[in-house]
A and B are shown apart, each in its own frame.
Chain A
Amino acid sequence: MAKKRKKKQVPKQPQRTAQAAKKAEPKPKPKAGERSPIRRWIAPVALALVVVAALITAQALIRRNAARPTGPWTLTILHTTDVEGYLDPCG
């Protein structure tokens, strides 16, 4: 009778090591001409945000300049000092 061969036992990899190994596996590279998911979403969103920010800034500038008169002008300052509580004198 042939001797029953003892099956060589392969030591079981602990689960964690297996997961780590899986993680370490290189991700499949996108094929030529294909964008990664991150690039596919982030780039358009970032671009949209930049456009919106530029529009808001431009609008604020236009409003500010529209409210501010242009051309020559004269500032007049009327002033008092050291009145020291007087209500009555001629001033």
Chain B
Amino acid sequence: MARRATAIKNYRAKTPYLLVLDAGDALFGQPVSDISQGKALTEAMDLMGYNAMAIGERDTGHWDELLARSREAKFAFLSANLVYANTGKPVFTPYVVQNVGGRKVAIIGLSPADDSLKAFAPSDVTVKDPVETAREYVAKARAENVDAVVILSHAGNVMDRKIATEVQGITAIVGGHSYDLLQETLRLGDTVIGQAGYGGEWLGEITVDFDADGKIVSARAGVIPLTEEYADDPELAALAARYNAALPPTPTIQP
């Protein structure tokens, strides 16, 4: 994570048109994250300047903590298709339109529609079809005269491909859930799709070039392995050390 922070800082110095996103299942799963009730990861992502994250099924397994972190974090917790079963209203913010270097970029969150979420989420929430939800919210976002529309999806790569094929007007899909490490550009129609594996070992990178009329000229996607080439960011290294120090000692087994 400390290397990731350095890589992100390097990009920030290069371009004003930068988005930093997480496609879900970020906050929980390890002792350090679970004991801190998701605060360790939320604070780290805030320090790195994340713009938004999607809600994955594992995030919903810590429901109360997730809701609390969504209120505290500076970045947006997004899901357009995770809704209350009785009202059909989204639990989290469905999408945001953010100012990226003066350009308006819409980011729409999607959660998985397979059975995985049912195993974790409370029984009073349900998940709507990602394709139909994407169609609905892309139209809403485009009506706001945005320069680009990004789907932040924890629906898996098969679903991401389906969405890219069936829904017009999507600039990029940042994917997750299926652990795909997409090292080369995957482009369907005008939509470019990326996914950066798992565990935070890689940083996904998508670049989309627009002409003066706002039309997409080219798009690329890949991943950056966070090797020793990237020094640890001192602020993030200190944060990790602070949270690790709060962990109870690992019990030793006597022979």
What is the interface of chain A, defined by CB distance below 8 A to chain B? 67-91
Number of residues of chain B lying within 8 A (CB) of chain A:
72
Ordered by A's residue number, 20 sampled pairs between the chains whose C-beta atoms are within 8 Å are A72-B211, A74-B209, A75-B103, A75-B147, A76-B19, A76-B205, A78-B8, A79-B23, A80-B200, A81-B23, A82-B23, A82-B24, A82-B26, A83-B22, A84-B25, A85-B32, A86-B200, A87-B33, A87-B240, A91-B199
* Interface assignment of B110: CB less than 8 Å from any CB of chain A: no
Report the separation of the CA atoms of residues A78 and B196 in the bound assembly, to the nearest whole angstrom.
10
Report the separation of the CA atoms of residues A88 and B206 in the bound assembly, to the nearest whole angstrom.
24
The interface residues of chain B, by DSSP majority, are classed as: mixed
Q: Nearest chain-B residue to A82 (Cβ)?
A: B198
Partner of A74, one of B25, B26, B207, B240: B207
* Interface assignment of B201: CB less than 8 Å from any CB of chain A: yes
- Pair A82/B4 contact, Cβ less than 8 Å: no
Report the separation of the CA atoms of residues A88 and B2 in the bound assembly, to the nearest whole angstrom.
8
Partner of B199, one of A67, A70, A78, A84: A84
- Pair A75/B207 contact, Cβ less than 8 Å: yes
Q: Nearest chain-A residue to B209 (Cβ)?
A: A74
Partner of A78, one of B40, B176, B205: B205
Contacts of A85 in B (CB 8 A): 26-30, 32-34, 40-41
Partner of B7, one of A72, A78, A89: A78
Contacts of A86 in B (CB 8 A): 1, 29-30, 33, 199-200
What is the interface of chain B, defined by CB distance below 8 A to chain A? 1, 3-4, 7-8, 11, 15, 17-30, 32-34, 40-41, 44, 56, 58, 100-105, 147-148, 150, 154, 171-172, 174-177, 179, 194-212, 217, 226-227, 239-240, 243-244
Q: Nearest chain-A residue to B208 (Cβ)?
A: A75
Q: Nearest chain-A residue to B99 (Cβ)?
A: A67
- Pair B197/A81 contact, Cβ less than 8 Å: yes
Report the separation of the CA atoms of residues A60 and B211 in the bound assembly, to the nearest whole angstrom.
25
- Pair B41/A83 contact, Cβ less than 8 Å: yes
Q: Nearest chain-B residue to A90 (Cβ)?
A: B226
Contacts of B212 in A (CB 8 A): 70-72
Contacts of A88 in B (CB 8 A): 1, 32, 240, 244
CB distance from B232 to the nearest CB of A (A): 10
Report the separation of the CA atoms of residues A68 and B239 in the bound assembly, to the nearest whole angstrom.
36
CB distance from B142 to the nearest CB of A (A): 16
Given that A69-B103, A80-B22 are contacting pairs, would A87 and B210 also be in contact in the complex, using a CB cutoff of 8 Å? Answer: no
Given that A82-B25, A83-B25, A87-B40 are contacting pairs, would A72 and B209 also be in contact in the complex, using a CB cutoff of 8 Å? Answer: yes
Contacts of A79 in B (CB 8 A): 20-23, 174, 194, 196, 203-206
Q: Nearest chain-B residue to A87 (Cβ)?
A: B240
Which 5 residue pairs spanning A and B have beta carbons closest together? Answer: A85-B33, A81-B176, A84-B29, A91-B200, A85-B30
Report the separation of the CA atoms of residues A69 and B147 in the bound assembly, to the nearest whole angstrom.
11
* A73-B209, A76-B207, A82-B179 given; 10 more Cβ-contact pairs under 8 Å: A75-B148, A76-B18, A79-B23, A79-B194, A79-B205, A80-B21, A82-B197, A84-B199, A87-B244, A91-B199
